[in-house]
Structure 1
Amino acid sequence: MAMPFKLMLVEKPKEAVDVTSYFVTEQEATSGAIQLTENTELMMQFTGNDARLYADFLTEHTPLTSQDAIGVYAIARPQPYVIYAYANNRSYPLIAGDYYLQVVAQGVRYYARLTVQPKRMTKQQFARMRETLLTNARELAMTRSSKIVEQEEQAPILLPLLRALSEQPRFEVTKGYGLQPKGQGRMDGKAKRLRRQKPYRHLQPSVQTLPNYDIAENRLLKHWLTQYALTLAPGTIKQAVQRCLQAPWLQGVAQPRASFLPRVFFSAGLYGAIYQALQQTLPQRVVVEQDHFRRTDELYELWGFIKLAQLTEGLGYTKIEEVRTAQKLTYTFMRGSSKIYMVYDELIPRMREQSSVTTPLYTLQNNRPDCRIDLWKANHYAGSLIVDFKYRHRDYIWEDEVLVDSTLPVPATMLQLEAYSRNMRTAVLSTTTPAVALQPVHEVWALYPLKYEGAIQDERNAFMVRLMDLSPCTDTSHISQHLEHIYTKALG
């Protein structure tokens, strides 16, 4: 069946994908999912007549879109829509997972399924990462959003009225003529003329009263119910309206010819009640709050932090405290007189006076690393390890070519990592060595995911920055070795 619209999704540099599998409800849309990859440039071509597209990837930041009570929508037009472009400096509008598109065209709703795949991980790695987060840090891994949805009236007053209409429709009595046995029925002048024109042996024409349903109020009612059915989602009310429209008495009712409302619609009878119900029994738009996972890059940061904590336990340190809320996650480990304090995504103060035992550092810029590991030996500060988790390719974290060619601009990520090692200061007077007081950060790590295990690249560069891969379902022994080296060097 030809659709009154056409929808195509284009991921650069892939070819355009024509969305062809549509269903009348979300529940039926279980196959034919369109496959997209997160963080990939995406354009949309949406053409047709009188069509709107509602989709989760449309936001208030998407150019040339509008918004109504249901949500943000795009109208069909010849020009394409830019959904995500690297140059726009905005986050990808979808997280990895399953979604539904809704197209409203010529009063009919169509649904299609959409699946977004993670870019830097396999499906197995992504699933394992989510499982770990649900077990260890659900409060931080999930976020809540609000969505406006349409729900059918729970106790629709229209249903009994439609049943009554099918049994007791209004009509006008018209005079007609039919054949009846001789001696029965009422005769008038026209009936007598008909009998003379075509005499029958046992029958005679007689006057009959016939119901005429093609009257003004029924014409308007049929028109309203037809239009109302187009706006309804599949459900009890829509089925009842469609059954009413298929009633035999309504088939001969024509379209309304005048716009005036007959007085019967303002009466206390059945037609007045239906008129009022059509204005009241509408789909209700309600706000539904939903919990869903955060973006994949944010999940990777949180998973990486938890993984470092697990590796620390594997090195013989005992976790003595865990603080986990929707805004904070910290771990405290002990082994003998050594204490390790791990902090996730916490601001480092800018003023010396604001530093403390739990936050021994201060700095002016780049003051929110993903992970900070503070080391203490017998109540003496032994320095820190700064870790950032980068959900991107290694080549986009540290670009060696800018070191060779001094005319090239230094990427912001490289400046960030270098600032972690160079700009951090401590106000703690009691340190294990004078070197810690001068340079409190031992190393800066930038960890990134890989889909498959490869040759280990874990050298520390001249800026005290070490790049290493850390991925679900892969070997992490190289991370453990470097953790142990820093712990041993600082804590003995």
Structure 2
Amino acid sequence: MDTPFKVLFCQPEYEPTTGLTMDKEILITNFVQDEIALYKMTDDEVPEVVENKRLTLSFSCDDEEARLYMDGLDIVPAKYLEGDSAPYLAPTEIPILLYDTPNKKDKLNPIHSDGYYPFIPGYYRIKVIIGGKSYFSWLKVKPKQITEEQWVSMRNDIEETLHGLAQDLIHKNASLGINSEIPIPLHILRKLYIIKKDFSKWVTALKDIQTNPRMRIRKEYNLSPRDKTGIIDAESIRYYARHPESRDYIYQPKNVRSYDLVENQWMQKIIKFIAKEMNELLEYLEKHKEKVNKEIKREKYFHHNEHAQVRLKSKVLDELTKYERFVKRVRSDCLLVLQEEWMTEVKETTPMSIPHSLNLDPRYRRLFSLYRVLKSEDVSISLDSSYDYYWKRTDLLYEIWGFLQLINGLQHESIGFEVVKGWIFDVNSNSKSVQVPFLEPGTTIEFKRGNTKLNLFYDETLPFKKEATTLKKPIFTNSNRNRPDARIDLYESEEYIGTIMFDFKYRPLRFVWDSAKLKGSNKTDTMQQLISYRDNIYSPFLYRHEDEIHWQNLRPVHEVWAIYPSHEDNNSPKNPLDDYRVRLMELTPLGNQDLFYQSIEEAIQKVIDAY
């Protein structure tokens, strides 16, 4: 579309025919004014640049009030940008250097010669505001192969984690435990849940049917010697009239019980179906027990019996054995009913109708209801459609992925918190369809471990006034940097004792924290943001039972975490944890998370120890 502005990127490209390297212009032309349309753009509509190559940006417009926002601009020194909470670029004919090789100076365009930002592979959103209208587009940074694997795996990991959380929710509600070391497939889990839910009620109905099934009294006629007294009815007289030769015998009726009713045919079908399902479950559980036993033997070969992995897998084996014992009991109860004498009278057929009596008798109704649920389609898990719009926002993708790692980390065996409520954990998992809700700003998840409680917040905006705080949301700020990606508020016996802040930075470490820029006004916006989260947060609820302590003099934020992925440019700067309470934490898809889990527990314990 035609736009009243021009956004141009330049990047050198080698020309094999001439042997020269020339600047290639990447002009952004595919702007849209509907943000939803932005997320529907296909890959072939998105201009591309290559990572780790010199990159400049030119933004020109006749309207001096125009603004250009772009993911990653916050790393540029603030003196070259406008705005505080959301830095933007004003129109300028001078190209802005976004990235160049380290220590290389651009003599022709000295602006930002000290601001190198190697854009990590992914999609970067561009937003231009002019005359009250907004225009949106993308720039894609093409990755190297190894980084591309991590990039692709991040979305897959998010989807798998969200599905896993939904599955764990069903585990929990089914009282089946939530150990996911060897996850039980959803279709198997669903059957276990259905069978175990209201087990005592339907098995009581089953045993009552076993001893007292529905039956009908019917007459059976037999010829009996006349000298034996017995009942004579109209049918006996009609028989005698038709068969005078049988005058020495009486066609005599006898009342007998009949169990071959349609409702009992249904019971036979239902009980056999349940028994068959239990056999399939047992087959599955047996295979997985064998698998876990082999893994335990392998772990014991390298570790002692009390090693964490051995204990974890032994716990899984115990759970599988518990499930197996339960399923065997269900199968045994079914087989006992099928072996009853009255059941042998019931014809093995597929009933063509559902008799009214099947719904009138509560015992039969309960078993039929169980059968219908088991026969229905498997439960499905879907993601809220809002996730579709965020897969291309690589920075947000990393942010969501990182938040999910926090959820998993808090529940890790080495930390030991359990979810109480919040977000997906409030979803009704009893229905056939479970939709994972979108991770909306302000989402809160509550965890508990003994007397310690914590609230994990996602992307919540902090208030600016003390009056806007509550015990459940106890902090406020006097800074415009008031929207951390995540935070943990900790409580001990319902008393607020401190906070840990988290920000996810999808960029190399030296563009998150550079110790050489701590002096004067050289701090980047990112560094100022992290320091502000520590220095400019207050709470009137901190240690509220200690009246002699003035809350104004206390800092409730114990640590601020800057979480970033691995990158070939990452170095090891001086740790700012002691001086600024900023913890630098590398967290990468496909990477080992042990240090991440260990550091979470360490940070939480520091808050508790301070209390």
Structure 1 length normalisation: TM-score? Answer: 0.46
More helix by share: 2
